[in-house]
Amino acid sequence: MHIGLIGLGKMGGNMRTRLRNAGIEVTGFDRNPDVTDVATLDDLVAALPSPRTIWVMVPAGQITDGVIADLNERLEAGDLIIEGGNSRFTEDFKHAELLSAKGIDYIDAGVSGGVWGLENGYGLMVGGSKAQVERVMPVFDALRPEGPREEGFVHVGEVGAGHYAKMVHNGIEYALMQAYAEGFELLEKREDIIRDVPGTFKAWQRGTVVRSWLLELLVRALDEDDDLSEIEGYVEDSGEGRWTIEEAVANAVPVPTISASIFARFVSRQDDSPAMKAVAALRNQFGGHAVKKSDD
């Protein structure tokens, strides 16, 4: 199988490598000449066999809209676009409608795994027709973690379902990170009793009910900076947490924990705190998200 991949940044570049390691031929395009395989989008389209499959892995919003529009002008009926960025699910309806007028198929893919996906594989949540999902299952199998397919991949439903599932996934992620972060701050506060905060988190990695990959990443962050003094407690949000809350309100579903976690991020932009240092460190560990270095 031979696919195109647009966007070769922190995740896209690693995805290209993982696919190639699994025997999938990949032609990548990026505006960065140091990483791209072809010089132009036209060259990418020309390099792919028909029917073409192109995975789009660029920032959500106007950039994704522009890439989809550019591909719509160049692709043909029977071709397929997989949109793997963190787009809001409502954008998928718009993209699919635009492409369907020319007979171009569309799959939305929620992708989790961050900068560790190359080594560990990516959790995949996809939306689209069963026929199109089956058509590119070798690509999904190459990207997902080893083990049973159903533990790393799900065909959630029709177009929009993949990004909806990823939105809820990220809302849950917000809440989990906030819980670890608040625990970190409380342990730090009682230095008269707790003499080894990093060691406490490290000891939770086996046998406890709070063990998780996020906990492992927090331990890694504390190994690098045992009191997180090098990080400013300022945390951005990429949108999914807000969208999860908006959906919860629209459907009368109470999500107090997720809501509290997003509001805590807003607080972080007003007042530095140990808890938000921990959240910032976690985002950097799993996603390579930038952190603000402390001026202290």
Catalytic position from the list 83, 91, 166, 277: 166
User: With contact defined as beta carbons under 8 Å apart, do 133 and 155 qualify?
Assistant: yes
The CA distance from 10 to 86, in Å, is 14
* 173 is an active site residue: yes
CA distance 130 to 268: 43
Q: What is the spatial distance between Cα 81 and Cα 72, in angstroms, rounded to a whole number?
A: 9
Annotate 91-122 with DSSP letters as a single string. Answer: HHHHHHHHHHTTT-EEEEEEEE-GGGHHHH--
Cβ contacts of 219-222, under 8 Å, gap ≥ 24: 220/285, 221/278, 221/281, 221/282, 221/284, 221/285, 222/197, 222/198, 222/281
Contact status, residue 46 vs residue 74, Cβ threshold 8 Å: no
Catalytic choice (83, 173, 232, 240): 173
> What does the block give as tokens for 24?
């999938």
DSSP E strands in the chain: the ranges are: 2-6, 25-29, 53-56, 80-83, 105-112, 123-127, 153-157
Token pair, residue 186, equals: 């409380």
Name residue, tokens 């999938």. Answer: 24
Q: Which two tokens stand for residue 155?
A: 């065909």
Annotation says 236 is catalytic? no
CA distance 102 to 72: 8
Residues 6+ apart with CB under 8 A from 270: none
Q: Among all residues, which ones are annotated catalytic?
A: 166, 173
